[in-house]
Amino acid sequence: MEKIKKEEEKIEKRGRSMGLLLPLRILLVSLIVGAPRANAWGKEGHFMVCKIAEQYLTDKTLTAVSDLLPPVAEGDLASVCSWADQMRFRYRWASPLHYINTPGVCNFKYSRDCHNSKGEKDMCVAGAISNYTAQLQTYGDSSSGYNLTESLMFLAHFVGDIHQPLHVGFEDDEGGNTIIVHWYRRKSNLHHVWDVSMIETAMKDYYNDDLNTMLEAIQMNITSDKLNQWETCSEKLATCVNQYATESITLACDYAYKDVEQDSTLEDDYFFSRLPVVEERIAQGGVRLATILNEIFDGSSAEIELKLSRAARVGRARQILL
């Protein structure tokens, strides 16, 4: 009992560290940048993942997605991609679905790692992606019984989360939440640096403080080679999800945790060498979310490939123009 309570407190603490800053950040971001109603990755990370995904949805998928989105989304999936973070206090059971803890090792094993603090199987971000994908596959069955609007908002969010390297992190430090660092001169924690700070610093330093400019740069970088590689895993979702989690814990060890200790000051060296990882994971998350949604709502994979290669050609053309 004691142990479970402690675990729950830990989870709550993690939720808090990501949640409570949010209202303030929304205010600041909308005041300063006038950014889209994006949301907490961080709000910006999830927004970009979903915006990228939107580029690759087939017409049939887009129709289904628009049909399921809540009215407040006004037809834009990206505007509700952080809904799951906003719900973390109301839906406490869903809190463990945002991440995976490993027992301090740089690999992921579904049977060992995918559970909540009470040991309930599948209660982790990998299990959640499979869960909400399966629910969405009942779209069109009148007897579905699931709230597929929520299933869609959960899925779009969790595909983003599983690509944030520190959402597949060590149990002892709660995915970097308990590693206190200085991000340049500001006190933070390692998890927050990866959720939010690197994206914000990149926006400020390189993208004129404009989220859409950053988004465009990431999008234009998606070559057809990368597209083909990233979407290959579209056949068996369970295997794909394990692959995404494995990639994240590997990147967490090779980049996020590397050379970081309690009270480390992270600045240019860390930022310059890690930002490409952040940008690539956002792009990958977006492409894979599109692949999963197209599989769910428009099983004709031939058409999907066509759409993907068309998008890649457009991307290349834009690169050449620049």
Ligand X SMILES: *[C@@H]1O[C@H](CO)[C@@H](O)[C@H](O)[C@H]1NC(C)=O
**Among Zn ion, ligand X, none, what binds residue 161 when CB lies within 5 to 8 Å by partner kind?**
Zn ion
| CA distances for 75 relative to 54, 66, 68, 259, angstroms | 11, 5, 9, 43
- Using CB under 6 A as the binding rule, whether residue 273 contacts ligand X is answered as no
State which of residues 77, 123, 159, 252 lies at the interface with ligand X (CB under 6 A).
Answer: 123
Judged by CB under 5 A, the stretch of 47-55, 82-90, 139-147, 251-259 that binds Zn ion is: 82-90
- Using CB under 5 A as the binding rule, whether residue 174 contacts Zn ion is answered as no
Rounded to the nearest 10°, the torsion over CA 275, 108, 293, 67 is: -90
Name beta bridge partners: 174: none
Distance in angstroms (rounded) separating the CA atoms of residues 196 and 69: 26
Comparison of 7 and 122: residue with beta carbon closer to ligand X: 122
Comparison of 180 and 207: residue with beta carbon closer to ligand X: 207
DSSP string, 134-176: HHHTTTT-TT--S-HHHHHHHHHHHHHHHHSGGGEEETTTTTT
- Using CB under 6 A as the binding rule, whether residue 150 contacts ligand X is answered as yes
* Contact string 51-90 vs ligand X (x = CB under 6 A): -------------------x--------------------
Judged by CB under 6 A, the stretch of 6-14, 168-176, 213-221, 286-294 that binds ligand X is: 213-221
Comparison of 14 and 98: residue with beta carbon closer to Zn ion: 98
Comparison of 127 and 169: residue with beta carbon closer to ligand X: 127
174, 137 Cβ separation under 8 angstroms: no
- Using CB under 6 A as the binding rule, whether residue 247 contacts ligand X is answered as no
Residue-level length of the chain: 322
State which of residues 113, 161, 195, 298 lies at the interface with Zn ion (CB under 5 A).
Answer: 161
- Using CB under 6 A as the binding rule, whether residue 217 contacts ligand X is answered as yes
274, 256 Cβ separation under 8 angstroms: yes
Label residues 285-298 b or e (16+ Cβ within 10 Å = b). bbbbbbbbbbbbbb
102, 249 Cβ separation under 8 angstroms: yes
Which positions lie near ligand X, rule CB under 6 A?
70, 93, 97, 122-123, 127-128, 131, 147, 149-150, 217-218, 221, 276, 279
